């Protein structure tokens, strides 16, 4: 049996101490919507009570603004959110759940760890959409290999997205944008969906904003929104 790939994690898992309410959300609500895996997922009947029409994945949802909007506006879509920063997980829980009564959205599962550990456990052609909204750009050249998008993950994204599915990535870091375009254009399974400049200058019409995006725009930064389609 092949040993699972081991990754070195870069980044933060904890920030400032959580307020009592958010700590309660983590201890009481998170177990209700946690995607707990001890092996590969063979089908989603065991993950969602009602089989969703599609399955979307957001990698690194930060404080959860974008994912919370998607979950609320698309009740027939199943969502998996990956975020290893526990303060971000608590922030998302505060947006989508309640303690009294204990309740969370039935179409959301949270994987509070590195997405690279999750991807190999998902079945082929399982995803209809993947979001990477303002991922860490790791701007120093010696840290570029830490970026989410790279040779190893490109093959996983190709395996997981069904034909016609989309990978959406947004960033205000132009070197990371160039890096992403190069990797996707080099991969035979993907095609960049852009016919004109407005296709990558404007936020996706069915998506909300993120805290990082709002901050970047307030400082006059230019944000780029890329969409790549999985070819048949």
Q: Which residues are catalytic?
A: 136
| Distant-in-sequence contacts of 51-54, Cβ < 8 A, 24+ apart | 51/78, 52/76, 52/77, 52/78, 52/107, 53/77, 54/78, 54/128, 54/129
Q: Which residues pair with 129 in a beta bridge?
A: 56, 166
As a three-state string, the secondary structure of 62-112 is CCCHHHHHHHHHCCCEEEEEECCCHHHHHHHHHHHCEECCEECCCCEEEEC
């Amino acid at each position: 049996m092949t040993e699972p790939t081991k990754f070195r994690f870069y980044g933060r898992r904890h920030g400032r101490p959580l307020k009592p309410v958010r700590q309660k959300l983590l201890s009481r609500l998170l177990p209700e919507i946690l995607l707990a895996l001890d092996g590969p997922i063979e089908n989603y009947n065991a993950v969602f009570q009602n089989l969703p029409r599609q399955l979307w994945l957001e990698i690194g949802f930060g404080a959860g603004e974008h994912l919370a909007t998607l979950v609320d506006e698309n009740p027939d879509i199943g969502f998996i959110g990956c975020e290893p920063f526990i303060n971000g997980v608590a922030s998302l829980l505060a947006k989508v759940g309640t303690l009294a009564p204990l309740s969370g959205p039935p179409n959301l599962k949270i994987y509070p760890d590195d997405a690279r550990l999750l991807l190999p456990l998902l079945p082929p052609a399982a995803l209809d959409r993947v979001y990477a909204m303002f991922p860490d750009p790791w701007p120093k050249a010696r840290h570029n290999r830490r970026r989410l998008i790279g040779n190893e993950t490109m093959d996983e994204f190709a395996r997981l997205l069904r034909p016609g599915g989309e990978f959406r990535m947004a960033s205000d870091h132009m070197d990371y944008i160039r890096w992403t375009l190069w990797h996707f254009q080099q991969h035979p399974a993907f095609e960049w969906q852009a016919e004109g400049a407005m296709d990558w200058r404007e936020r996706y019409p069915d998506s909300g904003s993120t805290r990082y995006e709002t901050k970047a725009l307030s400082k006059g930064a230019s944000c780029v929104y890329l969409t790549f389609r999985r070819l048949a």
